[in-house]
Amino acid sequence: MEIRTHKSTDIPEISRLFFNTIRRINSRDYTPAQVQAWAPTIYNNDYWSQRFVKRQVLVAEDRSKILGFAEYEPTGHIDCFYVHHEHQHRGVGKGLMQQIEMELQKLNVHRLYAEVSVSARAFFEGRGYTVVEERNAEYQDVSLKLYLMEKYI
């Protein structure tokens, strides 16, 4: 598995991975209405291109297949962090997180934080993150429970 910076040609695969992970993994912890609001469609390339302008984006790839992706900012904020639904619990997330931490340490960032889904909480806790507070996020007028989590490195 290789962790690398995303390329624009990765965007269609990233978009499908995002949609399918929410539909197949996060649907275990959220209602159908919440899942529909969170991932109503497979977003087009413009949606992701606009998001990626403001963030660093890493992908985990094996044999030209994207297994996961993560967005982070130089402030220490981790945004999207998704692992392909068929590659959960195989070290993909761990590899992405290690790379993010390494990159942010180079920037002398010591606090990492993310708004984490119910589904991802255990993964983040396993990487040393702690819950700061429980929050609700609004997607298309539907509320989803999230956790603000942080880690100091």
Q: What residue spans define the domains of the chain?
A: 2-109
Spatial neighbors of 128 by CB under 8 A, at least 6 apart, are 151
pLDDT by residue, tens only, the chain of 153 residues: 999 999 999 999 999 999 999 999 999 999 999 999 999 999 988 999 998 998 999 999 999 899 999 999 999 999 999 999 999 999 999 999 999 999 999 999 999 999 999 999 999 999 999 999 999 988 888 999 999 999 999
Q: Which tokens in the block code for residue 130?
A: 């702690």
Strands (E), 2-55: 2-5
C-alpha–C-alpha distance, residues 149 and 153, integer Å: 14
CA-wise closest residue to 34 among 146, 133, 131, 123: 146
C-alpha–C-alpha distance, residues 3 and 31, integer Å: 32
Return the residue matching tokens 């956790």.
Answer: 147
Return the residue matching tokens 């291109």.
Answer: 49
Global pTM reads 0.93
The per-residue pLDDT for 139 is 84
The per-residue pLDDT for 71 is 97
Q: Class of the 2-109 domain? A: alpha beta
- Residue 149: half-sphere exposure toward Cβ, Cα within 13 Å: 22
The per-residue pLDDT for 137 is 86
C-alpha–C-alpha distance, residues 14 and 20, integer Å: 10
